[in-house]
Amino acid sequence: MSLLTEYQYQPNDIDTEMMLTEIPIDVLEENIRKQFSDPLNNHKMDYLTNFITKYKYSKEVVEMNDDEEEKINIEQFRSEFITFMTEIFRENLDIEFPIIDEMLEEDQDEVLHFTYRFFIINIKHNFVNMILNYIDKFKSDICETLP
């Protein structure tokens, strides 16, 4: 149970025994697709953090159990998910991560998560800041156009 605390993961009864390989990844990916298709209305749930946390937890459990087959399965899930994330960024936002395959896992998680948070999770906050910055920068021009 210490692994759960270490990763700040609070599982329900079903999750306690569920490893990453048992998560319906297609459901997770579909939810992320929905977020990218309508980020203003689907920005509250951080699915990438859910994946990363579950992956780290699953990896620790597999390493403790020394299960080589399960380790390969989990790494394959991660690889496919990272590919999915890079493709969805490219398709929807024209953002690419050319050296992501050469990065350490932690760095991959960080760059994807920061980008995801900026464009999806924090979209309303960032949008408001952009408008306020624009108004502040051009306030004299805006005032001149008013009657």
pLDDT band at residue 129, thresholds of 50, 70 and 90?
confident
Pairwise pLDDT comparison (143 vs 6), residue with the higher score: 143
Angle, helix 68-93 to helix 47-65, in steps of 10 degrees: 160
The answer, yes or no, to whether residue 12 has pLDDT greater than 60, is no
Domain ranges of the chain: 2-145
Q: Evaluate if residue 101 carries a pLDDT over 90.
A: yes
Of 26-30, 76-80, 116-120, minimum mean pLDDT range: 26-30
Is the predicted pLDDT of residue 146 greater than 50, yes or no? Answer: yes
Question: CA 28 → CA 32, 34, 65, 66, 120, distances in Å?
Answer: 6, 10, 26, 27, 15
Q: What is the pLDDT of residue 14?
A: 43
> What pLDDT is attached to residue 34?
93
Q: Sorting pLDDT into bands at 50, 70 and 90, what band is 21?
A: low
- Name the pTM for this structure: 0.74
Output the 3-class SS for the chain. CHHHHHCCCCCCHHHHCCCHHHCCHHHHHHHHHHHHHCCCCCCCCCHHHHHHHHHHHHHHHHHHHCCHHHHHHHHHHHHHHHHHHHHHHHHHHCCCCCCHHHCCHHHHHHHHHHHHHHHHHCHHHHHHHHHHHHHHHCHHHHHHHCC
- Name the pLDDT band for 135 (thresholds 50, 70, 90): confident
Q: What is the mean pLDDT of residues 15-20?
A: 48
Confidence label for 147 from pLDDT (cuts 50, 70 and 90): confident
Q: 50-77 pLDDT, tens per residue?
A: 899 989 988 888 888 888 888 898 999 8
pLDDT range class, residue 15, cuts 50, 70, 90:
very low
